[in-house]
């Protein structure tokens, strides 16, 4: 609900459990008065205090008043140069070279339904689900208009933000920074949690108290990156999984980003999230506008678990555009780890034939099917089927796969080119590179300049031809290097600061075209695993390959970290062969299965090499997944223990939204002799119901929630234990 008090220029956004408020003060400055647990409302600017602070200047409009300074007030969207020395949201270079802007309130408007952003990913919402508030600020001297968009999803406790900057003046202005979100909070005593890592070990949470000054993470790699994720949490020192105040902030963007938090001199804190200012400079000619990516906020005073579940629900229902909706997606087998580049049609059909009897439904042909691609140093850019490996093209192969009762999926990497390719020989200038310098190589490949329409059109046409040549129901869109040498032959020198962002817009445009032309196609995002796992990509690709690391034990950490912002149904997860190729570790099929089932679920192995017993285990595993997919894919997710903490096991649960059904998963760590007894306290159940556990005894919900379930002792490392709980109606004596 949006309460617009025009008279007092007071704007209050209520969601079911939270309240967010702004007020334009006497000088027209938009102040941020409150964001937190839901309160009744009223004018919360009563919380603000004013005093004369040295070295905190007073704006010209305040005349001789010394107690009014932008440097100490909580701001909604702060431009640089006017006396607020904290991290700015907006930095504008005027036609005269100045870097000062003073944004003042102009008007506010409420609209039913959720705003959309042209060419950019954004949460969507019909009138019954969301409302929009647009607040327009203006800088009179520059004639610059800044529109702040707010989407309010009451039931999800989600507030989205985006900003549009319009040049209404006669001169050219340049945006040096345009953040999507600025959040000023009272107090400095917050912890900042970011999700960091590296290739094959992505999104591990790291928590530290805010220090005085600015601390930030971000990416200047052209993608959101393996190293840091565009999702961060500010929380109280005491906040934990089930208690405490926390604010989650997510940027729906797949390129360079910065998440910066600042603890100020007077113990207030600011979080700024948006496109990274590095090599960003957007020229706005008269009449032109720039729209930032969207950011989304969730506040919870019941800890991280509730925060995550709010993001999960909102993402599932109002961000993913999944052709399957809530229907179960096919269980897939991917050829990569089974064959790498070494295959022909017979070998692929053999792999598929070994999979079909196990209940696997989709065969995905990974890298190596096109151009002269026998290793990763050639062929990218040439999107025509290699008929030496696949005579008769995709059509012939797909017919053989379909004859086994399976559907077919394909790997592509459209943004890249190898120097050893027909495409590069014909169009060397289509790759990003700086004139006079040889471009850096990454995995022996260069990055195509997707900021250019003709480049995108060429690649798109080739892909469309391939995808139309046979029935392809799934595409894995990969991207296997970071951007360097970012310079576009199609843009003037003063516009080179636009290339990174135009590249991302180009990727979005291609993906949107693909969605429009192939509406039933399931697209899985990928960037060397989880190098572009973000809310922006999820709008186009409802699932993303979570990590190239398929080791079940490492995946406990990767999927745990990823789950803070993103729902399990978006996490590409497969069972692969053991010992694992990335870690050399051996884990049981049961453990690998339980971990992969908490994601999209599939396999990445040659079943022909499995023993009959293993094949039987896999068949049962697939059956189990199919039976419980609704719980695994649309249930509420509970992190019961952390894989980063010392303890005998990692546990998590999927609980149906009505609390009547749950699947609890537990994976033990490396074991020790004479282990102590432990009980696992569950979450999300109804205390008033009794639950039948694994088809056996009845357990009272309140006991499972308080005392927990006694975990049997296991011999061996990395064992798995799954509990399926179903509520029974009649209240019968338990135990």
Contact by Cβ (8 Å): 518, 511: no
Instruction: Give me the helix-helix angle, 453-468 and 499-517, nearest 10°.
Output: 30
Shortest approach of ligand GLA to residue 547 CB, angstroms? 8
CA pair distance 131, 153, nearest whole angstrom: 7
Query: Inter-axis angle of helices 345-355 and 393-403, to 10 degrees?
Result: 20
Give just the sign of the alpha carbon dihedral 91, 92, 93, 99. negative
Residues 6+ apart with CB under 8 A from 286: 167, 168, 169, 170, 171, 172
Closer of 134 and 444 to ligand GLA (Cβ):
444
Is 729 tagged catalytic?
no
Residue 469 to residue 314: CA distance in whole angstroms: 36
- 412 burial (CB, 10 Å; 0-12 / 13-18 / 19+) is buried
β-strands 636-639, 2-5: how paired? unpaired
Q: Tell me which residue has tokens 């729906």.
A: 252
Which segments within 418-547 are labelled E, that is strand?
446-447, 474-477, 522-525, 543-545
Q: What is the smallest separation between the CB atom of 334 and ligand GLA, expressed in angstroms? A: 7
Residue 389 CB, shortest distance to ligand GLA, in Å, is 15
Smallest distance from ligand GLA to CB 337, Å = 8
Pair type for strands 636-639 and 649-655 = antiparallel
The residue among 312 and 373 lying less far from ligand GLA, judged by its C-beta, is 373
Q: Is 606 a catalytic residue?
A: no
Dig out the tokens for 299 from the structure. Answer: 């506040």
Name the residue nearer to ligand GLA (CB basis): 88 or 529: 529
Tokens of 229: 């994720």
Query: Which two tokens mark 4?
Result: 């617009």
Distance of CA 504 to the CA centre of its chain: 15
Catalytic residue among 471, 614, 702, 717: 614
For the CB of residue 576, give the shortest distance to ligand GLA in the complex, in Å.
10
Cα–Cα distance measured from residue 250 to residue 505, given in angstroms and rounded to the nearest whole number:
18
Q: Note the residue count of the chain.
A: 735
Instruction: Report the Cα 241 to chain-centroid distance in Å.
Output: 20
Nearest-angstrom CA–CA distance, 368 and 337: 12
Residue 505 CB: number of other CB atoms within 10 A?
A: 17
Residue 572 CB, nearest approach to ligand GLA (Å): 9
Nearer to ligand GLA, 379 or 684 (CB): 379
Least spacing, CB of residue 507 vs ligand GLA, in Å:
16
For the CB of residue 183, give the shortest distance to ligand GLA in the complex, in Å: 34
Q: CB of 600 within 8 A of CB of 329?
A: yes
Residues binding ligand GLA (CB under 6 A): 336, 366-367, 376, 411, 478, 480, 526, 528-529, 545, 548
Q: Closest CB to ligand GLA belongs to which residue?
A: 367
C-beta of 92 vs 365, nearer to ligand GLA:
365
- Determine the Cα–Cα distance for residues 260 and 188; give it in Å rounded to an integer: 14
Q: Which is catalytic among the residues 322, 366, 534, 551?
A: 534
Active site residues: 534, 614
């Amino acid at each position: 609900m949006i309460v617009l008090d025009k008279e007092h220029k007071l704007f209050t956004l209520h969601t079911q459990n939270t309240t967010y408020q702004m007020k334009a003060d006497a000088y027209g400055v938009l102040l941020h008065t409150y964001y937190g647990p839901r309160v009744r409302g009223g004018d919360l600017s009563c919380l603000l205090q004013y005093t004369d602070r040295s070295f905190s200047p007073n704006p010209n409009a305040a005349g001789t008043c010394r107690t009014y300074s932008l440097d100490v007030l909580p701001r909604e969207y702060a431009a640089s140069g006017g006396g607020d020395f904290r991290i700015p949201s907006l930095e504008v270079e005027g036609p005269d070279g100045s870097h000062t802007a003073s944004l003042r309130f102009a008007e506010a408007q409420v609209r039913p339904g959720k705003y959309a952003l042209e060419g950019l990913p954004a949460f969507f919402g019909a009138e019954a689900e969301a409302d929009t508030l647009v607040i327009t600020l203006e800088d009179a001297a520059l004639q610059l208009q800044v529109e702040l968009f707010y989407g309010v999803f009451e039931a999800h406790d989600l507030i989205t933000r985006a900003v549009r900057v319009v040049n209404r003046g006669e001169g050219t202005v340049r945006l040096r920074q345009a953040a999507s979100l600025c959040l000023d909070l009272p107090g400095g005593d917050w912890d900042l949690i970011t999700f960091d890592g590296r290739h094959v070990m992505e999104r591990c949470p790291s928590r530290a108290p805010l220090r005085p000054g600015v601390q930030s993470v971000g990416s200047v790699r052209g993608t959101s990156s393996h190293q840091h994720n565009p999702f961060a949490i500010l929380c109280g020192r005491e906040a934990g999984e089930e208690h405490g105040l926390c604010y989650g902030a997510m940027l729906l963007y797949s390129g360079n980003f910065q998440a910066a938090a600042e603890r100020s001199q007077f113990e207030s804190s600011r979080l700024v999230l948006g496109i990274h200012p590095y090599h960003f400079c957007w020229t706005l000619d008269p009449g032109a506008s720039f729209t930032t990516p969207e950011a989304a906020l969730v506040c919870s005073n019941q800890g991280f678990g509730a925060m995550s579940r709010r993001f999960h629900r909102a993402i599932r229902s109002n961000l993913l555009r999944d052709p399957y909706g809530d229907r179960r997606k096919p269980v897939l087998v991917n050829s990569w780890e089974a064959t790498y580049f070494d295959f022909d049609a017979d070998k692929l059909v053999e792999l598929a034939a070994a999979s079909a009897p196990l209940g696997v439904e989709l065969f995905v042909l990974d890298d190596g099917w096109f151009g002269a691609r026998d290793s990763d140093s050639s062929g990218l850019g040439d999107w025509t089927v290699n008929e030496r490996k696949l005579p008769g093209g995709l059509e012939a192969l797909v017919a053989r796969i379909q004859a086994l009762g399976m559907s077919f999926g394909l790997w592509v990497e459209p943004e890249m080119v190898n120097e050893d390719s027909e495409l590069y020989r014909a169009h060397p200038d289509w790759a990003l590179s700086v004139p006079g310098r040889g471009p850096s190589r990454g995995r022996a490949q260069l990055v195509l300049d997707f900021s250019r329409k003709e480049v995108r059109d060429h690649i798109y046409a080739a892909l469309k031809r391939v995808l139309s040549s046979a029935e392809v129901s799934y595409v894995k869109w990969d991207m296997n290097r970071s951007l360097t040498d970012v310079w576009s032959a199609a843009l003037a020198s003063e516009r080179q600061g636009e290339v990174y962002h135009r590249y991302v817009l180009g990727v979005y445009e291609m993906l949107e075209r693909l969605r429009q032309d192939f509406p039933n196609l399931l697209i899985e995002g990928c960037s060397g695993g989880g190098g572009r796992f973000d809310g922006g990509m999820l709008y186009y690709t409802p699932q993303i390959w979570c990590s190239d690391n398929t080791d079940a034990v490492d995946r406990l950490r990767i999927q745990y970290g990823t789950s803070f912002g993103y729902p399990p149904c978006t996490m590409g997860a497969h069972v692969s062969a053991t010992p694992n190729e990335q870690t050399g570790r051996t884990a049981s099929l049961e453990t690998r299965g339980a971990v992969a089932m908490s994601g999209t679920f599939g396999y990445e192995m040659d079943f022909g090499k499995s023993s009959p017993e293993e094949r039987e285990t896999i068949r049962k595993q697939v059956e189990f997944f199919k039976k419980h997919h609704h719980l695994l894919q649309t249930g509420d997710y509970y992190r019961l223990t952390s894989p980063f903490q010392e303890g005998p096991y990692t546990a998590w649960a999927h609980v149906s939204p009505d609390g009547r059904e749950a699947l609890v998963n537990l994976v033990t760590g490396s074991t020790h002799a004479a282990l102590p007894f432990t009980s696992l306290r569950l979450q999300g159940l109804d205390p008033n119901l009794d639950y039948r556990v694994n088809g056996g005894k009845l357990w009272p919900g309140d006991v499972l929630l308080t005392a927990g379930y006694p975990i049997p002792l296991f011999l061996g490392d990395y064992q798995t234990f799954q509990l399926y709980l179903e509520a029974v109606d009649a209240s019968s004596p338990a135990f």
